[in-house]
Amino acid sequence: MVYSPPLDRCSFSYLTPSRMSDSSKTDEESALNRVLQKTANDVIDVTYIEPHSMENAEVSGRTREYRSQVASLRGVSRPVAKLPPNNQPPAVMLSKELVSPADVRFVTDRSEATAAAVESMEVKHGEPLVVQFAAP
């Protein structure tokens, strides 16, 4: 009779449980640290920013900087107001320049040409509009 010792399943494993936990724990910690670092770089956490935590000088400096950046991004200038202000005397208001004769002539010519184009509009059909079917 040969006595065989009981089988130890742990001896068949490639790594011992203690070794597995150490390496995986290290990997998890490094992965966690990477995630935390990336979050700290990308995410702006405003929950802890108190309104009184910033100094007035810093606030004014940031305001000035933001306004200059916004002004530099504006590519379209606002159109100049065409209407004269209404706080002038009537004589000055009435002596202002009216619409240029060129514009009046332009609209007159274009209205005549447009009216001619409207009159030239006609319905074009290739097939007869009334079709008789099943007629005796």
Among positions 46, 57, 94, 99, the unique one binding another protein when judged by CB under 8 A: 99
Among positions 11, 41, 69, 120, the unique one binding another protein when judged by CB under 8 A: 120
- Is residue 115 close enough to count as binding another protein by CB under 8 A? yes
Residues in 75-94 at the binding interface with another protein, rule: CB under 8 A: 79, 81-83
Cα-flanking dihedrals φ and ψ of residue 10, to 5°?
-65, -30
How many chain residues bind another protein (CB under 8 A)? Answer: 26
Nearer to another protein, 24 or 108 (CB): 108
Tokens of 125: 């059909």
The residues that touch another protein, with contacts defined as CB under 8 A, are: 79, 81-83, 98-99, 103-104, 106-108, 110-124
